[in-house]
Structures are given as structure tokens and as C-alpha cells.
Amino acid sequence: MISLAYDRVFSRRREVAFAIHDAARMLRTYSDHRARELNTTRAQWAALTRLQRCEGAKQNELAEALDIAPITLARLVDKLDAAGLVERRADPNDRRAHRLYLTEQAVPALAALGELAEDVMGRALAGLDEATVEAILKGMATIKANLKAELHSGACSK
């Protein structure tokens, strides 16, 4: 009888939420560990990589993209600036804002981080063929789009 109640409560679809959460947590933990090999943190790694994709972003835009508080990003950028990897430049259209740019020193750091990312994900995805990886990417994109639509529809305020 307990088995039937368990099956009703924890459907396979709900198990996906646990699997995503557990895999993401383990990936963060493993990435934290591996980032130390390059004397960096996962947060610095994420900021540099995201900035590489959207160089010239305002600090608040980068904070939003990383899903962290602006003050947290400011401290992170302070450290990256002190390390000579990032520079703040005044925004020509908004004197209160700064735009963020990578320095020449960031190029080898990003190359090393890119190699590390390939190794981390190679290990995480070991045993999965390319078709499975593509299916995972497609499924995750669908989940993200579904949740984004729900958030924007106001469904959370019901």
C-alpha cells in the first residue's frame, strides 16, 4: 500500500525535478573543486565566461545574467579587476553606470577555463552519445521556455 502512495506522490515527471536539482548541485560542487586547480572560483569562472559572451555589459546586466545580486557581482568584479582580468569603463550614455570589458590578461585565463570546462563536461557526460546530449539540450531548452512563459504570464501570483 505504501508503494502505491509513493508512486502517486512521486511521478516520473516529478523525479525529473530531483534529477535536475541533484545533477546541478553535483556539477556546481565538482566545478568548485576543479576551479581551484586554476586558482579561481566557480563564481569568477562564470563571470568571466558570461562576460566573454556579452562583453561591454553593464554590471547590473551581468548580475542579472548570472542570477546574482548586483552587490555580489560588484565584489566579484573588484577581485577580477584587481587580478587584471576585467576593467570597468564609464558608460558614455549613463554616467552612473559602468560597462565591463575583458583585458588581454583574460585571454589565456579564459583559454585555460575553456579547457577545464571541456574536461568537466566530458567527465559529467561520459557514456552519453551525441544524440542523447542533443536530446538533453532540447529538453532543457523546452523546460526553460515553459518556466519562463509561466513566470511572465503571472502564473506565480495566482
**What pTM, to 2 d.p., does this model score?**
0.80
Q: Determine the pLDDT at residue 118.
A: 97
Cα–Cα dist 59/57, whole Å: 6
- Name the domain count of the chain: 1
Longest Cα pair distance anywhere in the chain, in angstroms? 68
Which pLDDT score is estimated for 158? 45
Report yes or no on 93 lying in a domain: yes
Question: 71 lies in a domain?
Answer: yes
- Contact (Cβ atoms closer than 8 angstroms) between residue 86 and residue 59: no
In a domain, 45, yes or no: yes
Distance CA 125, CA 60 (A): 33
In a domain, 64, yes or no: yes
Q: Kindly tell me the sign of the dihedral angle through the C-alpha atoms of 135, 139, 140, 141.
A: positive
Encode the chain (158 residues) as per-residue pLDDT tens digits. 555 555 556 688 899 999 999 999 999 999 999 999 999 999 999 999 999 999 999 999 999 999 999 999 999 999 999 999 999 999 898 888 889 999 999 999 999 999 999 999 999 999 999 999 999 999 999 999 999 999 988 655 54
Domain that holds residue 127: 15-153
- 109 burial (CB, 10 Å; 0-12 / 13-18 / 19+) is buried
CATH of the domain at 78: 1.10.10.10
Contacts of 137 (CB under 8 A, 6+ apart): none
Predicted pLDDT at 157: 53
